Amino acid sequence: MIDTYSWFAVYPDVLLLAMACIIALVDLQATDARRNLTYVLTVGTLAVVAYLYGSHAAAGDTVYGFGNMVVSDAMGNWLKCFSAIAVIVTLVYGRPYAASRDMSTRGGELFTLSLFALLGMNIMISGNNFLVIYLGLELLTLSSYALVALRRDDGVATEAAMKYFVLGAMSSGFLLYGLSMLYGATGTLDITQVFNAVDPAAGGVPLNHQVLVFGLVFIVAGLAFKLGAAPFHMWIPDVYQGAPTAVTLIVGGAPKLAAFAIVIRLLVEGLLPLAFDWQQMLAVLVVASLLVGNLAAIAQTNLKRMLAYSTISHMGFVLIGLMSGVVNGDAAGTYNAYSSAMFYAVTYVLTTLASFGVIMLLSREGFESEQISDLAGLNQRSPLYAAVMAICMLSMAGLPPTVGFYGKLAVLQALVSSGLTVYTGLAVFAVVMSLIGAFYYLRVTKVMYFDAPTSQAKIEGGADVRFVLTINGALVLVLGIVPGGLMALCAQAMVRTLGN
């Protein structure tokens, strides 16, 4: 018999699964092309589960269920809440976009597969066991493959889906092989027990350090694939460009929060005694991501491809926070470093939602607003949408008073506070790369405000899209001016999660 605590840990996820199945069945009977009922049920379901996750997160309780295979804690519940909200915003932006495209994206698959993708994210975030994390990862990736391939007759989308599938399978193989090595060395799949096995202070049987590090290399490589960090970034530009823009946002938004969560689960909660080893690996990923992401983005004329390369550089900043927690064996700075990384990941997703929302709003049937030149003179056509896009570009560049500036400041502060000379040098390198990245972000702003319009087509968007986009853009600005609330939330979540 399953105890009450087990159900308490997973009942929002069970509700999400049940509703995803019900909505899929309801959609089979739908006759209207816009799938109004499917859309309403999907958004309603997401709103309810977001509220449930937020309520659990605010309570701050940590509950283990099903033999410690799943965990419900503050960090996980906040990330689930933010992921559900991100999917809601994505569907609000994506519904008009999908409705004006061919029937393959006009059906209910966009909504039902989004729900199953979110369920996969939530299972990943809740996982306290290697198998649970891997099952959630596979549910997310299989749903994502199908979403990218929704335009079955589009050669570019099909090519992107195949690349995504092949490289995604490779990364899953890397991660699975690394986890199997750790299982062979420790004899357990439970993350808490893995920590006790590799921690010398726990008094367990001494383990072969070389075997642990060998498995760790594959785990870090698999996680880097999921985050999109260089040199494991090859799938990101092609998938971002080839997928329908609504799907690009599904793939590039909320899953980043789930990827961040499994990095915390595996590397921090499970393998913190090996921090000296995996932090060196993350340092290499940081340098490669900042270098490749910013330099490659300069040469892009396709807006979605440019944002793909910028994603790689932003993941480098997330990794900066993750590699700053333990200094010379001292874990005193873990809460500050990891909460800064969480803050950066959440605010990056927020900014990404608004930027892709503008791209979808400017697209219309038979025309994809994917080139930077398509934004020419946007301020003359719509000052509001140009302002939202400009705020997003300034935030991604890390310029005040946007939230991107505070996010970069927080992770760099955590890095510099370590006191290590090499970390200070890495912080200087990150700042230089940000200055280079500012070029391609400001180029987009220049095109919107100073170039002549190439099109006079009316920009159409429903009241719900305009409202959500306005709030989205305003949050990017407001959270940069008063970031204390969200930063405190992230810090409190990390203290409650890692302090247990």
pLDDT tens-digit profile of 121-149?
A: 999 999 999 999 999 999 999 999 999 88
Counts of helices then strands in the chain (DSSP H, E): 21, 2
Cα(445)–Cα(433) distance, rounded to whole angstroms? Answer: 19
Give φ, ψ of 127 to 5 degrees: -65, 125
Structure tokens at 132: 């649970």
Tens of pLDDT, residue by residue over 395-411, are 999 998 999 999 999 99
pLDDT at 3: 55
Are the C-beta atoms of residues 463 and 321 closer than 8 Å to each other? no
pLDDT at 204: 59
Element (H, E) at 2: none
Cα→Cα distances 22→12, 37, 102, 111, 139, Å: 15, 12, 25, 12, 18
Closest CA to 83 of 345, 357, 470: 345
Helix (H, G, I), strand (E, B) or coil at 483: coil
Question: 10 Å Cβ neighbour count for 299?
Answer: 10
Give φ, ψ of 330 to 5 degrees: -95, 120
Are the C-beta atoms of residues 78 and 58 closer than 8 Å to each other? no
3-state secondary structure 15-71: HHHHHHHHHHHHHHCCCCCCCHHHHHHHHHHHHHHHHHHHHHHHHCCCEEECCCCEE
pLDDT at 156: 81
pLDDT under 50 in the chain at which residues? 1-2, 103
Beta bridge partners of 327: 330
Beta bridge partners of 70: 65, 127
pLDDT at 1: 36
Around 352, how many Cα atoms within 13 Å sit in the side-chain half-sphere?
34
pLDDT at 105: 53
Cα(260)–Cα(332) distance, rounded to whole angstroms? Answer: 21
Helix (H, G, I), strand (E, B) or coil at 327: strand
Look at the block and give the residue holding tokens 């990862």. 137
pLDDT at 15: 93
pLDDT at 63: 86
